[in-house]
């Protein structure tokens, strides 16, 4: 299994026809705002004037983090595997939202520290039972990082084979805001004080302790040129697998619906490997996690929603999915001035 990094920038040859189709609809020019730019982006990704969001999937990548032993999360590590069982039973927030809003949920064990035994609906892609503690040593070795990326890319191919055209990227992993903050710091140069946040709900003392731990972790290495080396030093298996899956999904012409702080850190890794990937990405929401604003700025991203969510799981991606459907429905089904016999603007 090897990683393919080829991702060309999207052709712009259809843009004029897409723009003309949107502008010809029965509305003042630009009056549907962000729905219009979303329709244009989805049409461009699919290279179609009539795009379709078939077989929408919401994938939750789960993994554990050695740095949890430093006390950087408000919750114990066991919550990761316990929540995986909750996802499989259909009871978590993301299950409820995805069911309500029309997305299929898939749960992937990228590296949870638990033996799940026989769970037929859990996709077993475990690289190892959790990463090592990146405050004292590399979270994973280079081969593990490459394997997780390649497994993610292969997973995207399996979604493509099911006819999936849009993937929501979610995750679960106690202490993974620490990994995401370190990636933001090392890959985008954002100072740690700006990149760190309260995660699952640290108090002021907890936040100060977390910042000190992350500073110790960051000081362990100097500048690292290769993004896969950064991922190996500080990432997580779920983040690595998500980054690979994002790359594979973009290569397959799918729309990437990016959830919150941790999913965005996976995209940041993928964008360092294949910069054109941001053209395929829709940013679901602005998370309440402190570092997300700097993360989105580093990605040049404009999120759709701002609901003060800080849950992860793909909950924000599920909530944004109806906006994608709405934009595509406008492009496909709305009458034009010509078809409806409505007079165009005067002057």
From the list ligand NCN, ligand DMD, none, which binds 178 (C-beta under 5 to 8 Å, kind-based)?
ligand NCN
Q: Which of 36, 137, 313, 347 is catalytic?
A: 313
From the list ligand DMD, ligand NCN, none, which binds 261 (C-beta under 5 to 8 Å, kind-based)?
ligand NCN
Nearer to ligand NCN, 262 or 328 (CB): 262
CA distance 64 to 279: 30
Q: Are 246 and 169 in contact (CB under 8 A)?
A: yes
Which residues are within 8 A (CB) of 100 and not within 5 positions of it... i.e. 6 or more apart? none
From the list ligand NCN, ligand DMD, none, which binds 175 (C-beta under 5 to 8 Å, kind-based)?
ligand NCN
Q: Does 174 bind ligand NCN (CB under 6 A)?
A: yes
Bridge partners of 107, per DSSP, are 60, 122
* Minimum distance from residue 143 beta carbon to ligand DMD (Å): 28
- Binding track over 115-154 against ligand NCN, x by CB under 6 A: ----------------------------------------
Q: Does 95 bind ligand NCN (CB under 6 A)?
A: no
313 is catalytic: yes
Q: Residue 319 has which token pair?
A: 């909530």
Q: Are 41 and 282 in contact (CB under 8 A)?
A: yes
Stretch that binds ligand NCN, among 19-27, 50-58, 91-99, 258-266 (CB under 6 A): 258-266
* Minimum distance from residue 32 beta carbon to ligand NCN (Å): 28
CA distance 126 to 130: 9
Nearer to ligand NCN, 41 or 73 (CB): 73
CA distance 281 to 257: 6
Stretch that binds ligand NCN, among 87-95, 100-108, 167-175, 182-190 (CB under 6 A): 167-175
Nearer to ligand NCN, 157 or 203 (CB): 203
* Minimum distance from residue 73 beta carbon to ligand DMD (Å): 8
Q: Which of 41, 46, 73, 134 binds ligand NCN (CB under 6 A)?
A: 73
* Minimum distance from residue 179 beta carbon to ligand NCN (Å): 8
Stretch that binds ligand NCN, among 43-51, 115-123, 266-274, 306-314 (CB under 6 A): 306-314
Nearer to ligand DMD, 211 or 311 (CB): 311
Site for ligand NCN in 178-217 (CB under 6 A): 178, 199-200
> Phi/psi of residue 107, each to 5°?
-115, 130
Q: Which of 184, 240, 241 is nearest to 214 (CA)?
A: 184
Q: Which of 251, 286, 287, 327 binds ligand NCN (CB under 6 A)?
A: 287
Cα distances (angstroms) measured from residue 325 to each of 32, 95, 302, 316, 332: 14, 19, 18, 15, 10
Nearer to ligand DMD, 95 or 286 (CB): 95
* Minimum distance from residue 282 beta carbon to ligand DMD (Å): 21
Q: Just list the catalytic residues.
A: 313
Question: Applying CB under 6 A, which residues contact ligand NCN?
Answer: 73-75, 171-178, 199-200, 259-262, 287, 289, 292, 310-313
């Amino acid at each position: 299994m090897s990683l393919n990094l080829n991702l060309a920038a999207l052709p712009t040859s259809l843009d004029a026809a897409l723009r003309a189709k949107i502008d010809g609809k029965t509305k003042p020019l630009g009056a549907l705002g962000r729905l219009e730019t979303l329709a244009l982006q989805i049409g461009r990704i699919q290279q179609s004037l009539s795009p379709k969001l078939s077989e929408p999937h919401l994938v939750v990548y789960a993994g554990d983090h050695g740095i949890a032993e430093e006390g950087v999360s408000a919750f114990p590590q066991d919550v990761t595997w316990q929540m995986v069982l909750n996802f499989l039973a259909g009871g978590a927030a993301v299950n409820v939202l995805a069911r309500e809003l029309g997305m299929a949920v898939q749960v992937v064990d990228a590296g949870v520290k638990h033996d799940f035994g026989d769970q037929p609906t859990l996709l077993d892609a475990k690289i190892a039972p959790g990463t090592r503690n990146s405050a004292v040593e590399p979270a994973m070795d280079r081969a593990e990082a490459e394997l997780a990326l390649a497994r993610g890319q292969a997973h995207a191919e399996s979604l493509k084979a099911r006819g999936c055209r849009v993937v929501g990227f979610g995750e679960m992993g106690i202490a993974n805001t620490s990994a995401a903050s370190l990636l933001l710091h090392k890959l985008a140069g954002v100072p740690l004080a700006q990149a760190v946040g309260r995660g699952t709900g640290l108090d002021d003392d907890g936040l100060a302790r977390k910042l000190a731990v992350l500073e110790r972790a960051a000081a362990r290495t100097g500048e690292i040129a290769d993004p896969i080396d950064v991922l190996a030093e500080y990432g997580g298996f779920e983040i690595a697998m998500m980054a690979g899956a994002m790359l594979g999904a973009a290569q397959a012409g799918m729309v990437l619906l990016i959830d919150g702080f941790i999913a965005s850190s996976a995209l940041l890794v993928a964008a360092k490997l294949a910069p054109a990937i941001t053209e395929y990405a829709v940013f679901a929401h602005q998370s309440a996690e402190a570092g997300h604003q700097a993360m989105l700025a580093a990605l040049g991203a404009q999120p759709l929603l701002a609901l003060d969510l800080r849950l992860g799981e793909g909950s924000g991606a599920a909530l944004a999915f109806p906006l994608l459907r709405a934009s595509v429905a406008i492009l496909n089904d709305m009458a034009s001035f010509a078809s409806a016999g409505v007079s165009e603007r005067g002057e």
